[in-house]
Amino acid sequence: MISPRLVATDLDGTIIRADETISARTVAALRRVSDAGAELVFVTGRPPRWLAPVAEATGHRGLAICANGALVYDMTSEQVIDSRLLEATAVRDLMKLLVDAVPALRFAVESESDLLHEASYPLLWDDDQPGVRRAADVAELSERAAAKLLVRHSGFDADTLLACAREVVGDLAELTHSSSTGLIEISAVGVTKATTLAALCTERGIGADDVLAFGDMPNDLAMLAWAGTAYAVANAHQEVLDAVERHTASVEDDGVAQVLEELFP
């Protein structure tokens, strides 16, 4: 049986259920990790402003790697403590490349604290905090560095849009997705959940073999490949189920908790 020094878990679809809750069983299992002296790291595509409920539910434990690796967030202080951003010039160049190749794309840029989006960009998730989202023209979207460039197209599902965008962008940025809707997420070159987690582990003298990771979507693939031990939840995207040898029960059946209860009795 493995004895991990660090547990890294995705949030949505992995420990956060469809109703946006984390079960009491999973919260208790996460507490076992910390109580045993192991590190706990949440690794998510979410921006920091969506983490307050998670911090509250899980007892303000550990760190969160946000925006697919672009930001590191302290769950205790609820502050961003590190960033790996996509430069404004890169945002501008990527938008031009993509819209020239795939017409009717719509863009938004995610920062540490807010979201700027084209007026026609479909907002599928509400942000009801005052001042956290604002419509802007394309020129304004590229005036500052971004945690993520978000790209939508109403005529594509996420897998198809990702494949099209990768053909255009190549190695100029990191592209992935974490939703079944026609949305892809773009980060700076070399910025993924895996690279930021690896850097954090290096700082702590923790090797990949001592890391246990959980995930469900393509934006988790690099992290799951890097970690010494990785599990896909049963409800994961088919690409993740195919790539990851170990599977656990679905998020609705507390699959992550089931594994942690065995490892941290």
Extents of the domains making up the chain: 6-84+191-263, 88-187
Torsion of CA 199, 203, 207, 212, to 10 degrees: -70
Which pTM was predicted? 0.95
Q: Considering only CA atoms, which of 94, 72, 202, 210 is closest in space to residue 150?
A: 94
Residue 233 has pLDDT above 80, yes or no: yes
Buried-state track 170-184, b at ≥16 Cβ within 10 A, e below 16: eeebbbbbbbebbbb
- The tens digit of pLDDT for each residue in 26-36 reads 999 999 999 99
The token pair that represents 127 in the structure block:
């942000």
* CATH number for the segment(s) 6-84+191-263: 3.40.50.1000
Average pLDDT, rounded, for the chain: 94
d(CA 151, CA 8): 27
Domain spanning 88-187, CATH class: alpha beta
pLDDT value at residue 236: 98
* Predicted confidence band of residue 154 (pLDDT cuts 50, 70, 90): confident
d(CA 64, CA 51): 9
- Asked if 6-84+191-263 and 88-187 have one fold, the answer is no
Average confidence (pLDDT) over 50-61: 91
- Residue 104 near residue 120, CB atoms below 8 Å: no
Residue 229 has pLDDT above 60, yes or no: yes
pLDDT value at residue 83: 97
